[in-house]
Chains A and B, each alone.
Chain A
Amino acid sequence: MVVIKRFNSTVSKLPTISSTLILSRNPIITRELPAFEQQYYNYQNELWKRLMWTFPKWYYYRDGTLGDQRFKELNKPPVFNNPKLEYTEGRPDIKQLRDRRFKQVINLPKSYKQAEDGSEIVDEEIQDNLSRKINPNSRITKADESKDLSSLERQLSKTLYLIINENGWKLPTFKSDTQTPLHKVAEEGLFNIGGEEINYFNVSSKPCHHIKGSDQIEFFIKSHILSGSFKPKNLKFLWVTKDELSEYLNEDYYKQIKHLLNE
């Protein structure tokens, strides 16, 4: 009798569970360096240049060649150490055409045509040429400029997280039975609301966190979206960074999951 009573009590107490998906888009470009880091790296870089060996010019530009001539036009020799002169800023210490007291600045001949002001002269014939000037793409995309929060191409230097609007903004949450593994529930739920054209990588089948309510438990599953897009029908969704997430989620809820998220 006692045994049955205990059995019944445990059954009635068994909480309902749900599986919440933390779907993230990893950063595509490197993070923005804080001012202090930037200054420190700059300082170290200058020290490194100051302590660098002299460029062996004779090896790369042999005397009397055209390349040597172009190199000499770009790089004027340092001030000659004349023993009969006094120098106000210290006597030059020249070896191998370098003043050993300072860092060596070398200007190399450009592989592309350059106008007087330093801008490139675009020659249409050599657009596919390997010697063309390299113009890197902008770190700020169109989605950043138009402030399109539902685009996967925004904030390339930060991790983005998917939130959906179901009676308020929240992470996608799916009801689970006690049979299907949690990561399967999350996967099926994601495909149900967002279409199957999502290439994603499930980090682990283990839940990374749980939040316990009075009669329900919420488990968290981590995943990365790799390609494809989240295309729901009649559902508002956003891709937001960790900082922005704190504005959309409930404050207590955000505090509980803060440590799971990356910048």
Chain B
Amino acid sequence: MFKQFVRFKSISNTNASTQKVVNQLSALSASRKQPKLIKLSAQDLIKHQTIQNAWKLYSDKLARENRKMLKEQYESIYNAMEELKQFPELFEAAKDDVKAPFPLEMRIPTDFPPNQPWIYNYEK
């Protein structure tokens, strides 16, 4: 007699739409998709820690420089305003900071420049 071989058992009691959801969940779930844990040898662990420590030192240095610069800028503004108190009219004008709307033309730096790096034809 002819015998039929079946490689996979079909899931019973599922219609097409349920099967679709099952497929989607299988794409999202972690089962059978996770890689092996990284097991570092003692030497590699030291290498990894050295890299992380170097990065920490580096980013700390950048942060320190940044804080220092901000502090200096703040003190600059403070001192300039103190100096400006000699000229009451200018001081009042500087104090009433009319908030200009933030310009829409200002753009965030991208990895590559636009086709036209600078817009020259501006008219008031």
Contact = CB atoms under 8 A, between A and B. Distances in A.
B76 A209 contact: yes
Contacts of A204: 97
Nearest to A212: B83
A260 B24 CA distance: 54
A178 B109 contact: no
A139 interface: yes
A60 to B, nearest CB: 8
Interface in A1-57: 14-15, 17, 26-31, 36-37, 40, 43, 47, 50-54, 56
A153 B105 contact: no
Contacts of B80: 206-210, 219-220
B94 A50 contact: no
A184 to B, nearest CB: 8
B60 interface: no
A245 interface: no
The secondary structure that dominates the A interface is loop
Interface residues of A, number: 68
Contacts of A196: 124
A101 B37 CA distance: 8
Nearest to B79: A210
Interface stretch (A105-113, A118-126, A222-230): A222-230
A176 B93 CA distance: 14
A197 B123 contact: yes
B46 interface: no
B103 A201 contact: yes
Given A178-B90, A181-B93, A137 B33 contact: no
Contact of B77 (A14, A178, A179, A207): A207
A205 interface: yes
B106 A228 contact: no
A141 B97 contact: no
B103 A139 contact: no
Interface stretch (A67-75, A92-100, A163-171): A92-100
A84 interface: no
Contact of B107 (A28, A202, A209, A260): A28
Nearest to B77: A208
Interface in B77-111: 77, 79-81, 83-84, 86-87, 89-90, 93-98, 100, 102-103, 105-107, 109-111
B51 interface: yes
Given A227-B105, A229-B120, 14 more contacts: A36-B54, A43-B51, A100-B35, A137-B113, A138-B112, A199-B122, A201-B103, A205-B97, A205-B98, A207-B84, A208-B73, A219-B84, A227-B118, A227-B119
Interface of B: 23-24, 26-27, 30, 32-36, 38, 51, 54-55, 58, 69, 72-73, 76-77, 79-81, 83-84, 86-87, 89-90, 93-98, 100, 102-103, 105-107, 109-115, 117-124
